[in-house]
Structure 1
Amino acid sequence: MQPQESGVHYSRWEDSSRDEVSMAATSGTEEASCCDRTSRKLCTGKLGVAVKVLGGVALFWVVFILGYVTGYYVHKCK
């Protein structure tokens, strides 16, 4: 019978006085949260590239419109 895999690994160096403990989430025991899945889907791959391009275009237009309106009121003739 083999021991079950754990997300915690403990190792002690022979010549060192420090112990090393590392915790890693295993994909089989824990499910990713909804936010993690959504961000992974929207930020990677072809869909991630499309989202970033659309976000950049939207940001450009927001800054352009704000600059236009601000310039209009600053340089408005009296």
Structure 2
Amino acid sequence: MQPQESGVQYSRWKESGQDEVSVVAVSNSEETSCCERVCWKLCTGKLGIIMKVVGGVAFFWAVFILGYVTGYFVHKCK
């Protein structure tokens, strides 16, 4: 059994005989830092999906350009 402050409760000895895990969200805004709030906002929901797609496309083009430049200098005729 974990303490209440962790936000996760594990209860094994219920009458139903099944293990139950419940996650409690921290609602106190004083406990969450500004960085955590920004990260939560950018990584979840529709905005999170958009950020992941934009990041993936940017990563693809960065690798593509790096490979193109590397291939140009490796295969350049002397």
The change in CA–CA distance for 1:77 and 1:55 in structure 2 (over 3 A counts) is same
- 1:47 aligns with 47
How many residues are treated as equivalent by the alignment?
A: 59
What is the CA RMSD across the aligned residues, in angstroms? Answer: 1.9
**Structure of larger gyration radius:** 1
Letter of the 1:58 partner, please give it: A
Point out where structure 2 has 5 or more consecutive residues left out of the alignment.
8-25
**SS of residue matched to 2:32:** coil
Deviations 1:11-61 (A, max 9, x none): xxxxxxxxx551336524743100110000000000000000000000000
Q: Which runs of 4+ in 1 moved over 3 A?
A: 28-31
- 2:73 aligns with 73
The change in CA–CA distance for 1:44 and 1:21 in structure 2 (over 3 A counts) is closer
Normalising by the residue count of structure 1, what TM-score does the alignment of the two structures yield?
A: 0.66
Normalising by the residue count of structure 2, what TM-score does the alignment of the two structures yield?
A: 0.66
The alignment-based identity, stated in percent, is: 64
Point out where structure 1 has 5 or more consecutive residues left out of the alignment.
1-19
